[in-house]
Structure 1
Amino acid sequence: MRFLSIQSHVAYGHVGNSAAVFPLQRIGHEVWPVLTVNFSNHTGYGEWGGPLIPADDVRAVVSGIEDRGVLPTVDGVLSGYLGGEEIVDVVVDAVARVKAANPEATYTCDPVMGNATSGCFVADAIPPLIREKVIPHADIITPNQFELGYMTHTEPEDLESTLASADAARDLGPRTVLVTSVLRPDREAQPDGGETIEMLAVDDESAWIVATPRLPIKANGSGDVTSALFTAHYRETGSAATALERTASSVFDLLQATLDSGERELRLVQAQDAFAQPRMQFSARQVR
């Protein structure tokens, strides 16, 4: 498959396109990265160098790709962090162009707004823009549990309320919702009593949940990898359960490799076999 990925780029580390492109390539897909920023490193360090790419320049890159006559071959569009209204408009326009050229293409939006630990960390104008201008055009969205509640004005906590929040998100337009970083009080513990963390996938056919051990690590860019892999596996297999199991397997092994390394940045290259040949060590459970 071929993906047009409109996201940030960093030279050092792995977030945005620097996280999403290589795993997709490693499992055999073509990716055309369109950069929205070109930073030295992700902003979590507090200091960084490099430019924001002006919206007109981002649009020009998309137009240049369109001029090659290849948009009919695009299977999916991906987007992650959106820095402002002008970039929002560029992404929405790019999705419209791709879908006009190939009505079977899908758009996956990772609605980056914040997390349960930090709260909302984007400008106040961003969540309404995502909810009102972007989400209605998406086929797949991949919010974490906090973002799911924030954009649907709900409080996903236990399984029932998280499913209801996912359905509220689907009412906004997308047919498939992948909820990451699900920490519900009624989740199952590991056999040894250790904590788990879950992902929930909901589409028109069913809903599935998968639990993995919760590792003591905060890894920037892991959500970008998750969104990319789930999209590719879901498009390839048509099965939310299979996509969920493959994605959970690969991302867990990536995070474990990163934790074992003692490094701050994802060990994306070192863990590449986890993308190409996921161990499938976790089973999804149907919850609807």
Structure 2
Amino acid sequence: MNVLSFSSHVVHGTVGNRAIQFPLNLRGWNVDCVNTTNLSNHPGFKTFKGSKTDAATIADIFEGLVEIGLQYDAVIVGYVASVPNLECIADILAKLSYKPLVVLDPILGDNDKLYVDENLIPFEMETLTDTKISDWSSLTASVTRFYDLYNVRFVVITSVNLGGAMYCIGCLDRETTFAVPVDQVPAVFSGSGDLFLGLLTDVFYRTKDVETALRRTVDVVQRVLRRTLELTDTKMSIGSSPYIPSLKLVESKDIIE
């Protein structure tokens, strides 16, 4: 199984392709990464060096992959960093002569902070649909609105707080949704969304079943987060919550496989 992943790269840390490649390798995937950034570390460490990759470079790299005859069973689109990069990747996907599974995560921010070009907004489900999700009824309205606006077959909403409880929501169509309860781990993590993206791609590709993929992915990610929390001695903080900038992926190998 071959997957192409467009996302960020850091030398140190477990975000972007660093959180996608290793888990998918463990599960038997050959992972080719097109890095939309090349940074020393992610911004959660308060300081970092490096730069974004420009769209011309992304297009050139992909052309090189095409020239040696590569095709992919799945394509992951994570952190793209800029509007030109997003347009470039969209153009690449539109021109493919075959139809891989495409899994897109509109990664625009985290922990209430935006960290991409503001022109990439709309931001996440509420802004994508111009709705406020506060209860089950408004969630249903938001999902219906999403399907009215966008040509997407399946939708996963990773974090929805309803009635004081956290859920992941899966949408099979505008009328069929299901909820997976999430036991919140008492800390803030970087890279958990990227890990989720990679694992969801794996399970959905194998099973072709959104509910199975979502339930299995939530379970594994939650266990990785708990182990990371247990094994991390020195923690930073975001507000009153402990902040852990790096996941313990190697130490969680037995959970991920």
Q: TM-score, normalised by structure 2?
A: 0.88
Q: Say yes or no: does 1:147 pair with 2:135.
A: no
**Deviation of the 1:86 alpha carbon:** 1.4
Match of residue 169, structure 2, among 173, 188, 200: 200
Q: Tell me by how many angstroms 1:121 deviates.
A: 4.2
Residues 168, 25 of structure 1: CA spacing in aligned structure 2 closer, same or farther, 3 A cutoff? farther
Contact 2:6–2:80 (Cα < 8 Å) also in 1: no
Match of 2:112 among 109, 114, 118: 118
1:106-141 Cα offsets, whole Å, 9 max, x none, are 2211112235x515443321115xxxxxxxxxxxxx
Q: 2 CA distance for matches of 1:177 and 1:162? A: 13
Partner of residue 6, structure 2? 6
Give, in whole Å, the separation in 2 of the partners of 1:206 and 1:220: 31
| Higher relative contact order, structure no. (Cα contacts within 8 Å, ≥ 6 residues apart) | 2
User: What amino acid maps onto 1:124 in structure 2?
Assistant: E
After superposition, what is the alpha-carbon deviation per residue over 1:166-189, rounded to whole angstroms, capped at 9, x for unaligned? 3322331111111012111264xx
**C-alpha displacement at 1:61, in angstroms?**
0.9
Distance 1:159 1:119, change over 3 A: farther
Go from structure 1 to structure 2 and tell me whether the alpha carbon gap of 1:30 and 1:167 turns closer, same or farther (over 3 Å shift). Answer: farther
Give the Cα separation in 1 of the matches to 2:103 and 2:229: 28
User: Which residue pairs with 2:59 in the alignment?
Assistant: 59
Mapping 1:38-53, distance limit 5 Å: 38-53=38-53
Asked whether the equivalents of residues 149 and 165 of structure 1 are also in contact (C-alpha less than 8 Å), the reply is yes
Instruction: Figure out how many residues of one structure are paired with residues of the other and give that number.
Output: 244
Match of 1:83 in 2: 81
2:136 counterpart of 1:156: no
| Equivalent residue, structure 2, for 1:102 | 98
2:61 is aligned with what amino acid? V
Structure-1 separation of matches of 2:255 and 2:6: 24
Please name the residue that 1:180 is paired with: 158
CA contact 2:3–2:30 (8 Å) conserved in 1: yes
Q: Does 1:261 align with 2:231?
A: yes
Matched residue type, 1:112: I
Q: TM-score, normalised by structure 1?
A: 0.79
Post-superposition shift, 1:16? 0.6
SS at match of 1:3: strand
**Contact in 1 for aligned 2:42/2:48 (Cα 8 Å):** yes
Any conservation in 1 of the 2:6–2:33 contact (CA below 8 Å)?
yes
Question: Residue in 2 aligned with 1:193?
Answer: none
CA RMSD of aligned residues (A): 1.8
Percent identity, please: 31
Alpha-carbon shift at residue 28 of structure 1 (Å):
1.4
Which consecutive unaligned segments of at least 5 residues does structure 2 have? 235-243
In the alignment, residue 175 of structure 1 is paired with which amino acid?
R
Say if 2:39 and 2:50, in contact at 8 Å, map to a contact too.
Answer: yes
- Mapped partners of 1:120, 1:150: distance in 2: 13
Once the two structures are overlaid, the 10-residue window that deviates more, 200-209 or 82-91, is 200-209
What whole-Å deviation, never above 9, does each CA across 1:227-279 have from its counterpart, x for those lacking one?
12112211210111210111011100110011111252101111122221xxx
Q: Distance in 2 between matches of 1:167 and 1:29?
A: 34
Moved over 6 A (4+): none
User: In the alignment, residue 89 of structure 1 is paired with which amino acid?
Assistant: E
Contact 1:159 1:186 in 2 (8 A): no
Shift of 1:65: 0.5
